[in-house]
């Protein structure tokens, strides 16, 4: 048996872990592709309809149409919820109900590969819904400047909330607690972090608080990139710090889970 292990020294356990998780997620994703894509499209369409066409066709806001203003916010918020839910819900179920998570815990892979693999998989799912959303806005005839930096910032946002979902799913003790995260963290952020309005219009002390939240930085950064094409350095820094924070918390949770 020991020869068996020595026979394949070139497949590193780190890569084995990450690639297996991505492969498994891809299998599931491709199997439910149309169902997934359709359900991914519902929320953005509703937002576009209500806040864009219903409310904002004629309204000008900070020098642009309200639709152009609100779309970066909606992209930020829909990638946030889909990254978070792509990790938090299935991981929570696999940990507490089907116990499929134990298959990973007992495998000879380092915990860091489990953390990287799961967070990346969630971020890809979030990114997919972001791209679907952007494609929809083009179909609806909205013109936005979307470049590499825009997508990079969007991906950072996905990493932040996928990491947050990973950490949440590993630390809570029952499935219903995921709803608490949704109710007390995710939903308030979607409304508060400048998605639908400009933070310049609200009192100083309140906006100072909102600048602590990661989604504020995504929304502002994406909006800056799409409307003015200037580089939002502070957004990149803030999101990178948040992504690292949740990665670290998630990794630590991997060692502490099910003790």
Q: Residue 23, interface with another protein (CB under 8 A)?
A: yes
Q: Which residue, 17 or 73, is less far from another protein as judged by CB?
A: 17
Q: Which residue, 100 or 187, is less far from another protein as judged by CB?
A: 100
Q: Residue 39, interface with another protein (CB under 8 A)?
A: no
Q: If DSSP states are collapsed to H, E and C, what string results for the chain?
A: CHHHHHHCCCCCHHHHHHHHHHHHHHHHHHHCHHHHHHHHHHHHHHHHHHHHHHHHCCCEECCEEHHHHHHHHHHHHHHHHHHHHHHHHHHHHHHHCCCCHHHHHCCCCCHHHHHHHHHHHHHHHHHHHHHHHHHHHHHCCCCCCCCHHHHHHHHHHHHHHHHHHHHHHHHCCCCHHHHHHHHHHHHHHHHHCCCCCCHHHCCHHHHHHHCCCHHHHHHHHHHHHHHCCCCCHHHHHHHHHHHHHHHHHHHHHHHHCCC
The least CB distance from residue 203 to another protein, in Å, is 47
Q: Residue 6, interface with another protein (CB under 8 A)?
A: no
Q: Residue 4, interface with another protein (CB under 8 A)?
A: yes
Q: Residue 19, interface with another protein (CB under 8 A)?
A: yes
The least CB distance from residue 18 to another protein, in Å, is 10
Nearest in space to 120 (alpha carbons), one of 20, 202, 12: 20
Q: Which residue, 114 or 189, is less far from another protein as judged by CB?
A: 114
Q: Residue 107, interface with another protein (CB under 8 A)?
A: yes
d(CA 164, CA 168): 6
Among 47, 51, 84, 104, binds another protein (CB under 8 A): 104
Q: Residue 110, interface with another protein (CB under 8 A)?
A: yes
Q: Which residue, 62 or 98, is less far from another protein as judged by CB?
A: 98
Q: Which residue, 28 or 139, is less far from another protein as judged by CB?
A: 28
Site string for another protein, 111-130 (x = CB under 8 A): x-------------------
The least CB distance from residue 250 to another protein, in Å, is 15
Contact 114, 254 (CB under 8 A): yes
Q: Residue 166, interface with another protein (CB under 8 A)?
A: no
Q: Which residue, 119 or 133, is less far from another protein as judged by CB?
A: 119
d(CA 214, CA 109): 31
Site string for another protein, 41-80 (x = CB under 8 A): ----------------------------------------
The least CB distance from residue 102 to another protein, in Å, is 6
């Amino acid at each position: 048996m020991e020869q068996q292990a020595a026979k394949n020294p070139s497949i590193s356990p780190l890569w084995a872990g990450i690639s297996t998780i991505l492969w498994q997620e891809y299998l599931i994703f491709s199997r439910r592709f149309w169902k997934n894509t359709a359900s991914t499209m519902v929320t953005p369409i509703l937002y576009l309809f209500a806040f864009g066409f219903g409310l904002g066709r004629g309204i000008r806001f900070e020098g642009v149409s309200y639709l152009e203003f609100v779309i970066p916010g909606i992209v930020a918020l829909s990638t946030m919820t889909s990254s978070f839910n792509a990790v938090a819900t299935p991981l929570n179920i696999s940990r507490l109900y089907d116990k499929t998570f134990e298959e990973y815990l007992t495998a000879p892979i380092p915990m860091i590969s489990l953390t990287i693999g799961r967070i990346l998989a969630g971020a890809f799912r979030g990114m997919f819904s972001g791209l679907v959303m952007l494609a929809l806005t083009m179909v609806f005839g909205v013109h936005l400047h979307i470049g590499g930096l825009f997508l990079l910032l969007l991906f950072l946002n996905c990493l932040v909330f996928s990491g947050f979902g990973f950490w949440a799913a590993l630390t809570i003790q029952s499935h219903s607690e995921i709803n608490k995260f949704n109710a007390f963290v995710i939903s308030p952020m979607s409304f508060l972090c400048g998605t639908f309005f400009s933070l310049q219009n609200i009192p100083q002390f309140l906006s100072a608080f909102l600048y602590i939240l990661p989604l504020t930085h995504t929304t502002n950064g994406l909006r800056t990139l799409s409307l003015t094409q200037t580089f939002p350095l502070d957004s990149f820094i803030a999101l990178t710090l948040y992504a690292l924070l949740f990665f670290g918390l998630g990794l630590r949770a991997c060692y502490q889970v099910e003790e």
